[in-house]
Each structure stands twice: as structure tokens, then as C-alpha cells.
Amino acid sequence: MNANLFSRLFDDLDDAARTAIETLDGRRITYDDLIAFSGRLANVLVARGIKPGDRVAVQVEKTVPNLVLYLAALRAGAVYLPLNPAYTLNELGYFITDAEPALVVCDPYKAEGIKTIAAKVGARVETLGADGKGSLTEAATAAKPEFITVVRASDDLAAILYTSGTTGRSKGAMLTHDNLASNACSLVDCWRFTDKDVLIHALPIYHTHGLFVASNVTLFARTSMIFLPKFDPDLVIRLMARATVLMGVPTFYIRLLQNPALTKDSTRHMRLFISGSAPLLAETHREWSARTGHAVLERYGMTETGMNTSNPYEGDRVPGAVGHALPGVSVRVTDPETGKELPHEAIGMIEVKGPNVFKGYWRMPEKTRAEFRNDGFFITGDIGKIDDKDYVHILGRGTDLVISGGLNVYPKEVESEIDALPGVVETAVIGVPHTDFGEGVTAVVVRDKSADLDEAKVLGALEGRLAKFKMPKRVIFVDELPRNAMGKVQKNILRDTYASLYKTG
Ligand code: AMP
């Protein structure tokens, strides 16, 4: 059997005339079209000298040809390496030198700059623009659609995705054909996808969420997706009238809630709302249920592992929890120092093991060794607990843990208390260097424009609710928290901003 993800996706297709992708301009791309177009592009890749195992780095806008290029790279046996279009030339220099791709595909207007970098590692450069035009698609028009998908073993690399790198250098997570196939198949089952579904695809496709979760699940389920270049709340609400599933980051849900058109009626046709990539506030979860009658299904995953846990399809979708381990995935919580497994309810390091867990960091054998236990568990870097009902709770990244006066303060615990105060929109709690305490607990708060809230009022309200060592030393108000494209709060930026807060003299 060919373990190539492409073969696993398409070999036993029974109705190739079915729509796979709909675009905003009304085009319908069938499964047949995807096979033919990916065949043409795979022929172009091979003609450009791409061999199995070669990296194909892609920094382009989200378009259908971009998604088909991912499928073509799989077919050619290459390793697909998507890059956020927002990266600057300087940042690209790092990725290209590190990954040494054989080919870089970029927007035509970036080609000149990228050629200089690509030349250093002997990579070719081809173009693909936001309008779908470029040297690559031009060559594909003249290429044959027939292509025999290259045979790959389940353990061969299908993709490298660089981690967002909020601490230290970004690392290339090596994902195998089996990592991606097993995870997508499991999600199709857990989330009850069928060929009757219509997914609103509003996520970027350079990240695991939009590329692997959204696209692979859709294709494995033989269903269709409405492919949006970016998230637009008005449009998403309009599309809900004929769609069934939305996958989003928490920011999508927050922005949709701000829209008066979001009602029980406008979401009536929808079957499922899924959230992940960053914590969904329990309050957002509750507000969503009250407004729409749907409980958001929150799940937890990461670039290195794909999806690890999910709230149940049937059963309680618990606000603030990320659900149970997916079938075949083991999740445990350990003492970060000793690696010893901790009992239910105890807070520690979340570790995972399963067919979804990546093969290691590209050309970083030591870093890889350091992040795996001897028994194969991957140390996620997330701090959390497993409750008595086996629901996993994430309390934040280990690197965001605040150690004040030698005691651990889990930011989420303080954030939840502050978020519950009237007039608070959201909070980020960080540790900032402090002469007496090592780190001072610091709360950065966004408040409602009309809220009558100041530092003294927040501190007064927390009095008696939090142990003294967890109390913020300062509460700072800001208009908004810095976030990356996936909606994650960038605490590293906040720590830099307030680094001198407690410095005296
Ligand atoms: P990334 O590799 O960019 O997908 O980021 C993965 C990280 O995002 C995880 O290690 C978690 O810290 C965080 N994350 C993902 N999903 C959730 C979630 N549902 N709740 C809280 N944090 C999450």
C-alpha cells in the first residue's frame, strides 16, 4: 500500500464529480479537478527537478492553487513547507537557510528579493500570486494531468511546519504521512463529518489548523468547503445559512459575537462550531451558547502533534476545558522536574504520545531528544491538569508560568478571576523581573470603554479571592492585547514592554 497521504486521501474515491471547494466567485472545484490540477502541478514540480524528500517552501496568499500545490507536493513525494505570508525577507532568510528547500514558491512581487536568498542554498524560485497567476500555474496549464503518486512510507516526511517561536528560534516540526493521515481520520470520526457537510474555511493555510485540520478533514470526509481568503464576520454569518461547520480560532468567535446578525436563526443550519489554537474564554463559550443555542466544541493541538484532545461530540462540552484525549492518543500530566506522572487534578506538564506526534525537529537532534521522554511521550510545554472526568485543562505555556517569591503562579488562575469582574473584556497575566520577588505578577487588562474600573478597584475585588502571593503587584490597562495571526496573545511582547516596571532608580 502507498502510505502517501495523497493516496490515502484519494485512492478509493467513489464519486469524483462531487464538489470539494467552492470559492466566493461561485467556482466549484470537484474532487476530479483537484486530482487533475494536482497532477499537473506535480508534473511541473518533477520537471523542475524536485525529488522525493526535497523541501518545497511556499510563501503565498491563501488561494485554491495554493492548496492544490500542497497536494501536488505530497504527490511528488516532496516535503511541503508553508510559510506565513507576513514573514519579512529577513525572517525568510532563516527558514530558507535552515530548511534548504529545492524550490521556493512566492508571490511574484517578492521574487526578486527571495531569489537572492534562495541562491545561497541553490533553490529555484517559482511564483504564485494572490490572483492564482504566476510561473507555476502557467507551467501547469501546459502540463499533463496524469501523474503517478510517488510511493512513500508512513514514516516519511510529508511536511515541515515551523513553530511560531515566541521563545527562541522557530523550529521545523517534521510531520510524517502517517501523522497527518491518522489525525485527520480520527477527527472525521470524532466530529461526525459526513459527505453532507459544508465547512466554512476562513483560516490561513500556512498553519496546522487551516491546512491539516480543516483541509485534510474535509477531503477525507468527501465533503466540501467554502474557501474564504480571510475571515470576514458578516460574510461568515451569511454563509451559515447553507454551511454546517465552522472551524475557528477564539478571535473568530469573539468577533462574531460582536455582530448583531449572529442569532439562533442565523446559525440554525449549522451543525458544529469548533474552536482551537488558543484558549477560548469560558465566558465566550457561555455567551455563544446563550446567543446561538450551540455549544462550541473546543479542542487542543499544536504544530508538533496535530490534535491531541477534543471535547465530546455527544456529551458535555465543558467551557474552559479542551476535552478528552483523542482515540489512540495518550495524554498525561507530569511533574516538570522529575517527569513523574501526577494524579488527576494535579497541575503539571502535559505530555502526549500517539500516531499524531511528530518525528522531531528538523536538524535539531538535541532539541528533539530534550523534548521527548524515554518512553516516547512528547513534552508539550503546556501546563495543565486532567480532571476527575478525564477532561484536560490547559493553564498556559510553561514559559508563561510566573515564579514569584519562589512560588508558582499559573497565569490562567489569576486571569480567570480578573476576567470575571464586571467591565473586564480580557486579561493577560505575566511575570516581570522584580528585585524582591524574582518576578512580579502583573495583570494587563482590557476593559470596556464604559467601565468604571481602575487598578485599586481590580485589586480590591481580588482581595480574599486569591492567595496573597498570586495577587498582581500592578494592574495595567491597555486598549488591546498583542496577538499573532492565530489569535494567541503574545506574552513575550508584553514581558518586553513592561520589563522595567519594577525597576527602581
Ligand atoms: P501552535 O503550534 O501554533 O498550533 O500552538 C500550539 C499551542 O497553542 C499549544 O501548545 C497551546 O499552548 C495552545 N493551544 C492550542 N489549542 C488550545 C486550546 N484549545 N486552549 C488553550 N491553548 C491552546
What is the pLDDT at residue 169? Answer: 77
What is the pLDDT at residue 472? Answer: 97
Tell which one of 171, 183, 300, 309 to mutate to probe ligand 1, the residue whose CB is within 8 A of the most ligand atoms: 300
Ramachandran area for residue 320 (φ above 0: left; ψ -120 to 50: alpha; else beta): left
Minimum-distance ligand 1 atom for the alpha carbon of 163? 2
At a CB cut-off of 8 Å and minimum separation 6, what does 465 contact?
Answer: 417
Q: pLDDT tens for residues 193-212?
A: 999 999 999 999 999 999 99
Q: CA end-to-end span of the chain, whole Å?
A: 70
* pLDDT reading at 14 higher than 60: yes
C-alpha cell at 448: 470596556
Partners of 408 in the β-ladder: 403
What's the rounded Cα separation, in Å, for the pair 298 and 249? 10
Return the HEC string of 67-113.
HHHHHHHHHCCCEEEECCCCCCHHHHHHHHHHHCCCEEEECHHHHHH
Structural contact between residues 387 and 369, judged by C-beta atoms closer than 8 angstroms: no
**Residue-by-residue DSSP string for 444-456:** EEEE-TT----HH
Determine the distance separating the centroid of ligand 1 and the alpha carbon of 300, expressed in angstroms: 6
Beta strands in 191-316 (DSSP E): 198-201, 224-227, 245-248, 272-275, 297-302, 306-310
296 lines ligand 1 (CB under 6 A): no
What percentage of residues in the chain have a pLDDT greater than 90? 90
Q: pLDDT tens for residues 177-192?
A: 999 999 999 999 999 9
Provide the pLDDT confidence category of residue 167 given band limits of 50, 70 and 90: low
The predicted model gives 35-54 an average pLDDT of 98
Minimum-distance ligand 1 atom for the alpha carbon of 161? 2
At a CB cut-off of 8 Å and minimum separation 6, what does 179 contact?
Answer: 158, 306, 355, 356, 357, 358, 359
C-alpha cell at 144: 499533463
What's the rounded Cα separation, in Å, for the pair 336 and 379? 9
Partners of 333 in the β-ladder: 350
309 lines ligand 1 (CB under 6 A): no
Q: Whose CA is nearest to atom 7 of ligand 1?
A: 302
Element (H, E) at 427: strand 424-434
Structural contact between residues 172 and 160, judged by C-beta atoms closer than 8 angstroms: yes
What is the pLDDT at residue 117? Answer: 97
* pLDDT reading at 290 higher than 80: yes
Determine the distance separating the centroid of ligand 1 and the alpha carbon of 402, expressed in angstroms: 19
Q: Which candidate, 400, 444, 492, 412, places its Cα nearest to that of 166?
A: 492
The predicted model gives 61-73 an average pLDDT of 98
306 lines ligand 1 (CB under 6 A): no
Classify burial at 282, counting beta carbons within 10 Å of its beta carbon; exposed 0-12, middle 13-18, buried 19 or more: middle
What's the rounded Cα separation, in Å, for the pair 250 and 488? 9
What's the rounded Cα separation, in Å, for the pair 431 and 5? 43
Q: Which candidate, 467, 367, 462, 379, places its Cα nearest to that of 424?
A: 462
The predicted model gives 402-424 an average pLDDT of 91
Q: pLDDT tens for residues 231-264?
A: 999 999 999 999 999 999 999 999 999 999 999 9
What's the rounded Cα separation, in Å, for the pair 189 and 289? 24
Alpha carbon 466 to chain centroid, angstroms: 32
At a CB cut-off of 8 Å and minimum separation 6, what does 35 contact?
Answer: 10, 13, 16, 145
Determine the distance separating the centroid of ligand 1 and the alpha carbon of 276, expressed in angstroms: 7
What is the pLDDT at residue 166? Answer: 54
Q: How many CB atoms lie within 10 A of CB 271?
A: 18
Q: pLDDT tens for residues 97-113?
A: 999 999 999 999 999 99
Minimum-distance ligand 1 atom for the alpha carbon of 208? 4
> What SS3 state is found at 227?
strand
Alpha carbon 28 to chain centroid, angstroms: 27
What's the rounded Cα separation, in Å, for the pair 191 and 312? 8
What's the rounded Cα separation, in Å, for the pair 269 and 275? 18
Q: Whose CA is nearest to atom 5 of ligand 1?
A: 302
Q: Does pTM top 0.75 for this prediction?
A: yes
255 lines ligand 1 (CB under 6 A): no
When the pLDDT of each residue in the chain is averaged and rounded to a whole number, the result is: 95
Q: Whose CA is nearest to atom 9 of ligand 1?
A: 302
What is the pLDDT at residue 231? Answer: 96
Please list the alpha-helical segments (H only) found in 143-247.
Answer: 177-190, 208, 217-220, 233-239
What is the pLDDT at residue 164? Answer: 74
